[in-house]
A = this chain, B = another copy of it.
Amino acid sequence: MAVAERLRRPEPVNAPAPAAPELTVEGLSKGYTGGSEPVLQSVGFSIQAGERVALLGANGSGKSTLLRCCLRLVEPDAGAIQLFGSDVRSLPSRQLRSLRSRVGFIFQRHNLVGRLSVLSNVIHGAIGHARHPALWCQAMASGHWRERAFRCLEEVGLSEYAARRADRLSGGQSQRVAIARTLMQQPRLVFADEPAASLDPTAGHEMMTLFTRLVRSHGMTLVFASHDLEHARCYADRIIALQAGRVVLDRPVQAVDFQGLDGLYRQEAG
Taking Cβ atoms with an 8 Å cutoff, the residues of A that contact B are: 1-4, 6, 32, 34-35, 57-60, 64, 108-109, 157-161, 164-165, 168-173, 175-176, 194, 197-204, 227-230, 233, 258-259, 261-262, 265-266, 269-270
Task: Report A57 CB to chain B, min CB distance, Å.
Answer: 7
Task: Report A179 CB to chain B, min CB distance, Å.
Answer: 12
Given A108-B171, A270-B173, CB of A2 within 8 Å of CB of B259: yes
Residue of B nearest to A3 (CB): B262
Q: State whether B173 touches A200 (Cβ < 8 A).
A: no
| This chain: copies in complex | 2
Additional pairs, 19, CB under 8 Å, beyond known A34-B164, A64-B170, A173-B270: A1-B229, A2-B229, A3-B229, A3-B261, A32-B168, A35-B164, A57-B200, A58-B172, A59-B199, A60-B173, A108-B198, A109-B171, A157-B270, A158-B270, A161-B270, A201-B227, A201-B265, A202-B266, A203-B265
Which residues in B have their C-beta under 8 angstroms from that of A57? 200
Which residues in B have their C-beta under 8 angstroms from that of A171? 59, 64, 108-109, 194, 197
A-B complex: 6 closest residue pairs judged by Cβ atoms: A59-B172, A202-B265, A2-B258, A60-B170, A108-B171, A58-B200
Which residues in B have their C-beta under 8 angstroms from that of A6? 259
Which residues in B have their C-beta under 8 angstroms from that of A172? 58-60, 227
Which residues in B have their C-beta under 8 angstroms from that of A227? 172, 198-201, 204
Residue of B nearest to A161 (CB): B270
**Selected contact of A269 from candidates B160, B262, B266, CB within 8 Å:** B160
Residue of B nearest to A33 (CB): B168
Bound-state CA distance A228–B176 (Å) is: 18
- Among A194, A202, A266, find the residue whose CB has the most chain B CB atoms closer than 10 A: A202
Which residues in B have their C-beta under 8 angstroms from that of A259? 2-3, 6
Cβ contacts A to B, 13 pairs, < 8 Å? A2-B258, A3-B259, A3-B262, A3-B265, A34-B168, A35-B168, A58-B203, A59-B200, A159-B269, A161-B270, A194-B198, A197-B198, A202-B262
Bound-state CA distance A64–B174 (Å) is: 14
Bound-state CA distance A203–B269 (Å) is: 10
Which residues in B have their C-beta under 8 angstroms from that of A194? 171, 198
Task: Report A76 CB to chain B, min CB distance, Å.
Answer: 17
**Selected contact of A1 from candidates B4, B58, B157, B204, CB within 8 Å:** B4
Which residues in B have their C-beta under 8 angstroms from that of A258? 2
Bound-state CA distance A265–B109 (Å) is: 23
